[in-house]
Amino acid sequence: RGNTLKNIEKECNAKIMIRGKGSVKEGKVGRKDGQMLPGEDEPLHALVTANTMDNVKKAVEQIRNILKQGIETPEDQNDLRKMQLRELARLNGTLREDDNRCV
């Protein structure tokens, strides 16, 4: 639900928008007038804006770290991904208390 993105925005005092091909889920309508969304015809990317360049740099660094972790870490060892899925299950009301057991 975008909570990781929201946390980075809050921590870095920045605004982050995911844009480009694949940024809108299949079947979701973009603009009501049928026009393309800004950047929709571009490769997938993050647009980071902030009041200071330092805040932009902090946000970009956090995004890079998340991407690096997602690429380099096997899914079963990716702690951020596990935390995100657990939080989503909690928000959806599908979290089972035995989900945090050690196997």
Grouping H, G, I as helix, E, B as strand and the rest as coil, residue 10 is helix
Q: What DSSP designation does 36 have?
A: P
Task: List all residues 6 or more positions away from 85 whose beta carbon is below 8 Å from its beta carbon.
Answer: none
Neighbours of 62 (CB within 10 A): 20
Residue 9 phi/psi, 5° resolution?
-60, -45
CATH number for the region 3-92 comes to: 3.30.1370.10
Q: What is the CA radius of gyration of the chain?
A: 16
Task: Give the pLDDT band of residue 53 (cuts 50, 70, 90).
Answer: very high
CA 54 to chain centre: 21
Average pLDDT on 40-69 reads: 91
- Per-residue tokens: 91: 């928000």
Of all residues in the chain, the percent with pLDDT exceeding 70 is 74
| pLDDT reported for residue 103 | 45
pLDDT tens, 9-50? Answer: 999 999 999 888 877 766 555 566 666 666 677 888 999 999
Give the domain ranges of the chain.
Answer: 3-92
Q: Which ranges constitute the DSSP H helices of the chain?
A: 3-12, 53-72, 79-92
Average pLDDT in the chain: 79
pTM: 0.63
Q: Scanning the structure block, which residue is given the tokens 């991904």?
A: 81
| pLDDT reported for residue 68 | 87
